[in-house]
Amino acid sequence: MNAIETNKLTKTYGKSRGINELNLKVEEGDFFGFIGPNGAGKSTTIRTLLGLIQPTEGSAKVLGYDIVAEKDKILAGTGYLPSEINFYSGMKVSDAIKYSAALRKTDCSEKAASLSERLGLDLSRKVDELSLGNRKKVGIVCAIQHSPKLLILDEPTSGLDPLMQREFFSILKEENERGATIFFSSHILSEVQTYCRSAAFIKEGKLIISDKVEKLEDTGAKKVTVRTKAGVEEYLYKGDVRKLLKELIEKEPLDVTVTEPSLEEIFMNYYEDKGGAK
Amino acid sequence: MTVFKQELKSQRLPILIWSLAIGFLIAFCVLMYPEMKSEMDSVSDMFSKMGNFSQAFGMDKLNFGTLIGFYAIEGGNMLGIGGAFFSAIIAISALAKEEKERTAEFLFTHPVSRVRVITEKLLSVYAIILILNAIVLVCSVCSIFIIGEKVEWDILFLFHTASLLMQFEIAGVCFGISAFISRSGLGIGIGLAAMMYFINLIANVSSSAKGLKYITPFSYTEGSDIINDAALNVSYIIPGMALMCAGIVAAYVKYMKKDLQ
């Protein structure tokens, strides 16, 4: 079964685009990275899947349940961390975590205590006094304490220091080994390349590509760097090598390097609207 | 009832401040009454000659020489205006604050249906109004016992019941508005309550504007009418309650499908 499956999922805000006919599949137990530039539709996709906003057209299932008709069942099995999380003013950290557990009618005190300790959370502090990073840590505890089947995380590492990011991914790996599906959106391609087994790239509301990370890396494209009198030119090349060599000679190069591109470089091609390798 | 409890908990301080402020002001006026009693006949006489001004506040038909007449004016204005503003503030922020304070993403991604959230928030609004009115009534009754004056208790309770219904009506309408807005609605809520108060003043003064009495909830809290009739005016209460219900239904219809920011 797929943990997430969307079928031509579309969300528009009046005349503005949100997401357009998105067909996304995330397998159960996968560690999935959802990549795209700002305004690409990552948060809109996540918010539609969680029922915060209504789809304009299309349909989607999360954990086998319809996102419109069976929203509560989805939310019972899901943990969610928004990109910018806010709690009720005046609450202590411990109150926010307990309130989240109470809303789920679950006693998660043991796991909440263990997560809080690992993340170095001061439970007695007021949520209003917390920095973005510390608010995020509270959000992580709230999202994970009930051991959900699916974890949806929107830009989870923003605000976390590198040490905390490492601890966070170690928690995510443990949750994934427990059987939880991890779906997170990110700008940082290196963390997707390091931790994810699958990834999808969204741009201007449309899904550009979705596959296993190793397949995405294995595009057959080469990163070509040419130094000429006019300057340095870098691009991805995919195709007949003889044609490439002919092109390079015509440029009268001073130096040429041909290397394997990183996942980041492959996706940057999409970012820069090149539509893939030459 | 997790959301209900959280709402009540978060409003503890405002409830206490508003209840004690209104309650103590009413008690203060009641405690002053024995000293002012001897001069009240001349005050009643003076108000009866002040034309439209007295008419607007219903003071032309009230006897200040009795405690209930005095209470209807002093207490009526304090509980009327204070209670209306408080219920408007509480109700208009009930749903809107989730988006304004950006906590909607936290609350609505838990397995609690929107119907449940709306219902628990609505119940909390009415529970808060009941608590305020109970505290005010206790302050009022205690002060009357302290001065040892006789008062028509049935009229006094009718008067407080009318105020409670008026606050319920304003809360229902404001709760409906709350579902449509994503920012602070305090200005709208207080403005609406104040507008209703002034509409009642206009209806009191102008005979051609009597129809406005069916719009404003202050029409059935008019102390002079309650004392003279020893009953509440149901013909004003029924449209008021219908308006309250319309507000609540609108809140459910809108918020169930609303895209939360």
- B158-183 confidence digits (pLDDT tens): 999 999 999 999 999 999 999 999 88
In this predicted structure, the answer to whether residue A75 has a pLDDT above a threshold of 90 is: yes
Is B12 an 8 Å CB contact of chain A? Answer: no
Residue A223 is encoded by which pair of tokens? 């990163």
Most confident of A159-173, A263-277, B116-130: B116-130
Tokens of B174: 């404001």
Q: What are the residues whose beta carbons fall under 8 Å from the beta carbon of A47, sequence distance 6 or more?
A: A53, B105
CB of A271 within 8 Å of a chain B CB? The answer is no
- Asked if A54's CB is within 8 angstroms of B106's CB, the reply is no
- Distance CA(A23)–CA(A195), nearest Å, equals 23
Rounded to the nearest integer, the mean pLDDT of chain A is 88
Which residue in A131, A125, A120, A117 sits closest to A94, CA to CA?
A125
Query: What ipTM was estimated for this complex?
Result: 0.83
Measured on CA atoms in the order B75, B77, B80, B84, is the torsion positive or negative?
negative
**Does the distance separating the beta carbons of A75 and B110 come in below 8 Å?**
yes
Domain count, chain B: 1
Closest Cα in chain B, distance from residue A233 (Å): 43
Q: Which of B108, B109, B115 to mutate to test the interface with A (most CBs of A within 10 A)?
A: B109
Say if residue A261's pLDDT is above 80: no
Give the amino acid at A52.
Answer: L
Q: Give the containing element (helix H, strand E) for A138.
A: helix A132-144
- The predicted structure's pLDDT at residue B215: 87
| Range 88-107 of A in CB contact (< 8 A) with B | 88-90, 99-100, 102-104
Q: Which of B8, B98, B106, B108 to mutate to test the interface with A (most CBs of A within 10 A)?
A: B106
Give the span between the Cα atoms of A183 and B37, in whole angstroms.
75
- Chain B residue with minimum CA distance to A12: B259
Of A47, A54, A80, the CB nearest to B257: A54
- Among residues B138, B144, B139, the alpha carbon closest in space to that of B31 is found at B144
Interface with chain A: mutation pick from B6, B105, B121, highest number of A CBs within 10 Å:
B105
| Inter-chain CB proximity A72 and B103 less than 8 Å | no
> Which residues, including other chains, have CB under 8 Å from residue A228's CB and lie 6 or more apart?
A251, A252, A253, A254
B141-160 residue pLDDT tens: 999 999 988 888 999 999 99
Q: What's the gap in Å between the CA of B125 and the closest CA on chain A?
A: 17
Write down the residue that tokens 């041909």 correspond to. A258
pLDDT by 10-residue block (mean), chain B, 261 residues:
93 94 92 78 66 64 76 85 95 93 93 95 97 95 90 90 95 96 89 90 80 88 85 92 96 93 78
Distance separating alpha carbons of residues A159 and B31, to the nearest angstrom: 58
Structure tokens of A29? Answer: 């137990």
Using DSSP's 3-state secondary structure scheme, residue A214 falls into helix
pTM of structure: 0.85
Radius of gyration of chain A (CA): 21
Residues 6+ apart with CB under 8 A from B208: none
| A103: nearest CB among B2, B102, B105 | B2
Using the CB atoms, write b or e for B22-46: b if 16+ within 10 Å: bbbbbbebbeebeeebeebeeebee
Q: Which domain holds residue B55?
A: 2-257
Task: Give the pLDDT confidence of A106-158 residue by residue, as tens digits.
Answer: 888 899 999 999 999 989 999 999 988 899 999 999 999 999 999 999 999 88
Chain B contact for A84 (CB, 8 A cutoff): yes
The alpha carbon of A48 is separated from its chain's Cα centroid by a whole number of angstroms, namely 15
B6 Cβ contact partners less than 8 Å away, ≥ 6 residues apart: A88, A99
Query: Which residues pair with residue A66 across a beta bridge?
Result: A61
Residue entry with tokens 């294995």: A218
Burial of B63 (C-beta count, 10 Å sphere; 0-12/13-18/19+): middle
Residue B17 token pair = 């401040």
C-alpha–C-alpha distance, residues A204 and A18, integer Å? 8
Among residues A162, A202, A193, A196, the alpha carbon closest in space to that of A182 is found at A196
Spatial CA neighbour of B137 closest among B229, B30, B35, B32: B30
φ, ψ for residue A39, nearest 5 deg: 75, 10
